Structure 1
Amino acid sequence: MNISDSATNLLSSLQTELGQWLHIPGWIVFPTLIMLAAVIIDIALHFVLNRMERRLRDSPRRWDDPILHGLRLPLRWWVWVTALMVSLGVVGDHFGIERVNTVLSRLGALITLLLVAWGGIRLFRRLEQRLVFPPGNCHAKPVDPTSASALTKIVGAVLIVTLILIGLQILGVSMSSILAMGGFGGLVIGFAARDVIANFFGGMVVHLDKPFVVGDWIRSPERQIEGIVEDIGWRLTTVRTFAGPPLYVPNAWFSQISVETPTRMVSRRLWETISLRYQDIGAVENVARDIRNMLLKHEEIDQDELITVNFATFGQYSLDIIVYAFTHETDWQRFHEIKQGILLKIRDIIDERGAELAIPASRIYLPEGVGKGSAEKERVEKESAEKEESEDRAGQDDSRNDSAGRDDVERENVERQDAEYESEQRRNRQGASSRTARQSQEGNRRTAPGPSDTDGDGEGDA
């Protein structure tokens, strides 16, 4: 009898005795003990890892805290997964389930690979933070965010690919089959995803060459790209434009265009043209000399760079002085504050020399005869216009008088017609009254008795 058989018999007898003592089936005893052991181990790990984390929090080394942070949760989960797999194996053996141990072993291995991948991702993320922001007592220099991100991404990608290959082997997939499929499949995938692959390699080139890093101000007139770099991914680079919205740039573009990084300038150029009047040509030399002396004494001007102040050209309406220098300050806002102070000092120099700044203006010189002829012509045109205006006013008065006369005539005609109508009505009324009188007189004569009639009647009566 070997040691394994002895251990098996011991566990079997222990399982039987505990089952009888606890009054439960024997096959439940061992899985229950395993889960209780997992609880105890988990509590112990929690206690130990907490103490280690407090001790390593102030460690000057960059690796201690990321390793502990990466392994903390995956390790505790692994304890529970292992306990569960063993318990299920015991139950499967009790009920005589075939191949249960094979299936559980493969499943446990795959879950373990997933936990390792999870722990690796947590480790690399924390490591990236510690590389960029090392502890206060760490003497190592900080790593720029772009390099730290590239390092963690590359190592993470290698880890994921390795775990995938191991997982395929656990599942029983032959590596030769994978390589055979990878030949033709890689060709098809590469042709279909050539843009994605181009962006991937473009991101690698950006990470390796470092033409810019996160936080840099970049611009490219070829593609109208300008803003602050927020993130450099494997496929896209995120640029926050000065207008506010984010701009997502494919990494493949950066191998085809020129990119300017103003953030990396060591000095900023001041280039202005000062325009004086033509009347101040005698003061140009003194003004240029005073401006140059002022720049040579200015503490914000880089004296190691070129300083040029010279009368440059006769402009269309001005005498142009070129001012060319560089400032130590490269910050955009601070540079413009310095530039404002320099321009105000230049204005004071111009005032002290009795000169003035030129403004766009044109002066026309005419021959003497042309000027007089033009004046005489203007006078004649003015008199003609005034005469026409007076005639227009007279014509308007005449028209108003004519209209007033016509109104008077019409009014007289109306009054005359009214008078004639009234006289006619009066005559009609008089004629009617005379006819009425004659008719009444004639009626009276017909009804009155005559003298012969009276006498005859009297005589007969008697």
Structure 2
Amino acid sequence: MHKLNFRIPHFRSLLLLLLVCLFLPFNAEAQILGAPAEKEDKEEKIPEDPLGRRSPRGTVTGFIDAMAGQNYSRAARYLELSSISNQEKREEIVQVLLRLLDQGGDILPYSLISKNPEGRTDDNLDQDTDRIGSISADGEVIDILLVQTRDENANPVWLFSEESLSQIASLTLDRRALVNRIMPEFLQNRIWGGVPAGQWIIAVLLIFLSYALAWSLISFITFLLPRLLKAAKEDPVSGIIGALKLPLMLYAAVWIFVIFSRNLGLSIIIRQKFSVLIIIIGIAALLILLWRLSDFLGKYSQQKMILRGNPSGVSIVLFLQRAVKIAIVIFGVIAILGILGINVTAGLAALGIGGIALALGAQKTIENFVGSVTLIADRPIRVGDFCRVGEILGTVEKIGVRSTRIRTLDRTLVTIPNGAFSSDTIENYAHRDKFRFHSIINFRYETSPDQLRFLLAELRKVLYAHPKVFEDPARIRFIGFGSSSLDIEIFAYLNALDYNEFLEIKEDLMLLMMDVVERSGTDFAFPSQTLYFAKDEGLSKEKGEIAENQVKKWREKGEMPIPKYSEEQIESLRSSLDYPPKGSVARKESPEN
């Protein structure tokens, strides 16, 4: 006689059950949303099978129920035993299969067994074959296969394959399950649902024991981690560990329960009944994990927003956190209903139609919310920034979930929907590193070429000498002949902390340039005609001669700063002007003076 070995469950079977718990929601979703529709033959409708064998799930469910009712003759009708006509022999095979399943077998949870008449098409098996479990005995693993065959009316039915049964029939048992050996006799004689009452009591006690062991194990690990890893004491690692603690306890409890129940030899009937509970616990653990992670990430993001000076982003985080939690609840309800066998396809369709209607009705609201998320993520502006949005110029006062408020220069408050705000052109003045000084000065046509050269040289000297002017680019060029003037362009960047200081420096530069113009003997042009009367003194001949003599000296010495100053000349002029200028109140307050 063959003797069964009582050992730790086969790794592959255990891994399969763990994967069921860990990835159940995805499988459940696939069953709910992605399961192929049943093909219906409109010409000839297949009648219902009284035993429910039209699908693999129906066959397994009917077989387990028949064994729970100890109706072995009915259970034999779920087996492919065409070569065995003796009813006693058929029932004997059923009982052997039951004992092997109790002591070394596993059957997939009902929700993971196909309920379609065609069975599973993605399991790399023949089209008419499905694997629904395995049996470990005599040092080998036997796959339990279902095959699609024909009943007495030539209609398709799913039965336990003759190939699997022939391998199982060669196995015999000479030793009772461990749970039956340790259970009192009076609990073995009382039968509840086809199983000794003691096994139900042990199964319930095993649930509490599994959770207690899982709690002890996970608590010990979470106690040990901060003492071994410094990062485990600080966010975000400590927050993630806290979020994982309860879900890991539940997963570990499921693991321990599956291992103990199989090693003790609990009846496959009990284990199949509890398989639904195990999967629901797996879903609940995943939902708890997602819920806790959303709480932690929400709080962590809010703290980061506040530390970065972006309190307006907190409202966005809260909104997203609530939306994620609602999605978690909806997903969990749908997954659990699907596991319980409730058809939610119609509800999902109605929910989809309602969602489309809601989205159409709240199109602008959604657009504004997406715009606010874009503003928070891209951060083109912050509260307190001075900016231009389209034609609106002002200071940002608040960035909300729906809109952004800007205080204009006229002190009015403009509210812009975030959808329009994020799609418009935004010019932010708060982040510029330099201020541009640009001006075109018009001189009278009576200005001589040498006077113009004097102006170019002296005006450049002002730029090069001023300590608040960036040297590159800092240019002054004679750019053309206007309708009533000779035009000189001034272009430079100024080093200023804010706009007010920029205006101060610009004012100082323009005053210095006016001094140069006054020394040159020429004057600014006006866009008007000039009429000369007898009393008009005209241009200063004396100053004009001085400017021309200066240009003559430059020519003789080869120091003409036209078309540009040499590097040595620029270096000798650098920061040689006084700023703030002499006589200024600001000069007395300057720490450098």
Higher relative contact order (CA closer than 8 Å, sequence separation 6+): 2
Q: Which has the higher strand share?
A: 2
Q: Which has the higher helix share?
A: 1
**Fold shared by both chains (TM-score > 0.5):** no
State the structure with more CA Rg.
Answer: 1
TM range, smaller chain: 0.3 to 0.5
TM-score (structure 1 length as normaliser): 0.45
TM-score (structure 2 length as normaliser): 0.37
